[in-house]
Amino acid sequence: MIQVTLKDGSVKSYKKGTTIIEIARDISEGLARVAVAGEVNGQVKDLSTPLNEDCKLNLLTFDSEGGKATYWHTTSHIMAQAVKRLFPNVKLAIGPSIENGFYYDFDSEKTFTPEDLKVIEAEMQKIIKEDYPIERFTLSREEALELMKDEPYKIELINELPEDAEISFYRQGEFTDLCAGPHLMSTGKIKAFKLMQQAGAYWRGNEKNKMLQRIYGISFPKASQLEEYIKMLEEAEKRDHRRLGKELDLFSMNEQIGPGLVIWHPKGARVRLRIEDLWRKQHLRNGYDIVYTPHIGRGELWETSGHLGFYKESMYSPMEVDNQDFYVKPMNCPFHIAIYKNKLHSYRDLPYRWAELGTVYRYEKSGVLHGLLRVRGFTQDDAHLFCAPEQMPDEIRRVLRFCLSMLHEFGFDKYKIYLATKPKDKSVGDEKMWADATKALEEAVKAEGLECDIDEGGGAFYGPKIDIKIKDALNREWQCSTIQFDFNEPERFDLTYVAADGSRQRPYMIHRALLGSIERFFGVLLEHYGGAFPVWLAPVQVKVIPLLEKHQAFANEIADKLRQQDVDVEIDARNEKIGYRIREAQLEKVPYMLVIGDKELESGTVSVRSRKDGDIGSMTVDAFISKVVEEIRTHA
């Protein structure tokens, strides 16, 4: 008998060889119907997997991350089977699940069209109705190569597997694919799906390789979930930050300047300035010092830090100055370390909290650049903390509180916290340091009354970390905040402090970002609000609209009073109808419009229109200014 520990902590005994689906049925027929996979000791497995030793088992439904990945991966195989039926000469590449759905890459002489996608969908529907069992099997390397002899991309993948690797395949009907799994038990388990789009993709993401055709798709256990997802995509399209950035004249990219390099227009710069002003103010209030560091550094610096060893492919090529190589910085940390090394430190001086809005440059392949969300030049909301080991728990809690309060300021109150632990392959630092750091992170989360998911092995090679993913208005997750331990840099740069007993000790170093990068956070913020920023963030907070030329002087007077209170205001005195100018202001998503005519001029009032509520009536100038200033002050 084997002992199986379930997610709720209960332990059940089963015969060796009992499958995961049999255990699900033993617990509940209802659970067995909705289960899609099982997580065995942290690894996601097929429901048909037999268990032969004591283990921890978590039965996964579609609502879990592993469940979605299994469901979507199976749908990608069904799509590949349909494509091979319809276009037998197509060669198969890879077909993984991704964050939102799945894709499969095909090498095809024929270019797929939207009409082809409909035909493929119809064939997929047949395969689902045929309800083929999905069976896993393994082969020797020679047998695997023989089976895949007509699939050159699969042959390449097999040849790259380690000598002792298990080579597994999945079969459904006439279709067999090289795959590590896991998968659903049959094709009939897929209930609702849609193929979304076709795009080009280089084999293995390398532009030197052949361009393949990639088909993206999505699937769900219920048709209603698919309908909701399609509606969400339509709303996301309306909120696309690239479209809004152009419509609202916030930022642009210029091919003459270079891809992935952002140009901030006046209105976008105003919003960015408000973000940065709040960032600086809150950091000073939370006990940080602001620092500034250069944009380039000698190659020797990046050799010591390890970036030239671990990160060179993502760095820009060097520039030669005085017969020495200089690199534009991909990160700020070595410069902050240089500040630390500038003098001797005592335990009484610690902790140090140094923050910088530091612009860095990283070479990203052109195929992954995406508006503000993936760029080559960006400003990191960066900070580094240097502390003694005994200070670590309090510092982590302090950072976590600061992080969540900062996100709250911008209207993000929904989030998910992940604790990424030591990677299984490569890491630096001894076991005790890893254990202490991981424990400190986990206890900090619990001490703040929060919950976190464990990302086993997801830490960086230099230390464990906390990642916070915020949820926007469409409930999409965005990775912004991170709190990372670093056992690597203090060792490489030989950082020390004088401990209470007079000995030289190594400080702990914590990398920390609250917003991530300003560019990416701006893009997320823009999509979250659909361009309709709250008053305190809006690039133009008030637009004054005089009806006639005789009302212009009063409009100027009001605008001057607003500017004296640090309110961003514009006057629209164009010779256009009032309705047209109001509609324009609405399209520009200006929070307040002040209309001035004869009545307002005589009474010294303004007719106030709200972007959200429409006409809200007449107010004195001072009353309106008090209202808008209070909304800005409180971030209403």
List residues with catalytic annotation: 333, 362, 380, 382, 384, 465, 511
Q: Cβ neighbours of residue 553 under 8 Å, at least 6 residues apart?
A: none
Give the H/E segment covering residue 282. Answer: helix 266-285
Cα–Cα distances in Å, from 469 out to 137, 295, 349, 516? Answer: 37, 29, 33, 11
Q: Cβ neighbours of residue 159 under 8 Å, at least 6 residues apart?
A: 145
- Residues 254 and 548: their CA atoms lie apart, in Å, by 39
Q: How open is the CA angle 38-452-23, to the nearest 5 degrees?
A: 20
CB atoms within 10 A of CB 280: 14
Three-state secondary structure readout of 267-280: HHHHHHHHHHHHHH
- Residues 540 and 590: their CA atoms lie apart, in Å, by 6
List phi, psi (to 5°) of 206. -105, 120
CB atoms within 10 A of CB 634: 9
Q: How open is the CA angle 483-495-307, to the nearest 5 degrees?
A: 60
Structure tokens at 292: 């500034």
Q: Cβ neighbours of residue 581 under 8 Å, at least 6 residues apart?
A: 545, 572, 574
- Residues 132 and 470: their CA atoms lie apart, in Å, by 39
Give the CA dihedral 322, 324, 327, 329, nearest 10 degrees: -90
Which amino acid type is present at position 434? W
Cα–Cα distances in Å, from 3 out to 9, 55, 232, 549? Answer: 12, 7, 44, 85
Give the H/E segment covering residue 231. Answer: helix 223-239
Structure tokens at 267: 């209105």
| Contact predicate 74/37, CB 8 Å | no
Q: What is the rounded radius of gyration, in angstroms, for the C-alpha atoms of the chain?
A: 29
| Paired residues of 615 in beta bridges | 609
- Residue 28, Cα to own-chain centre: how many angstroms? 36
Nearest to 315 by CA among 332, 303, 327: 327
How large is the greatest C-alpha to C-alpha distance in the chain, in angstroms?
A: 93
| Paired residues of 263 in beta bridges | 252
Cα–Cα distances in Å, from 30 out to 24, 100, 190? Answer: 9, 26, 17
How do beta strands 453-455 and 415-420 pair?
A: parallel
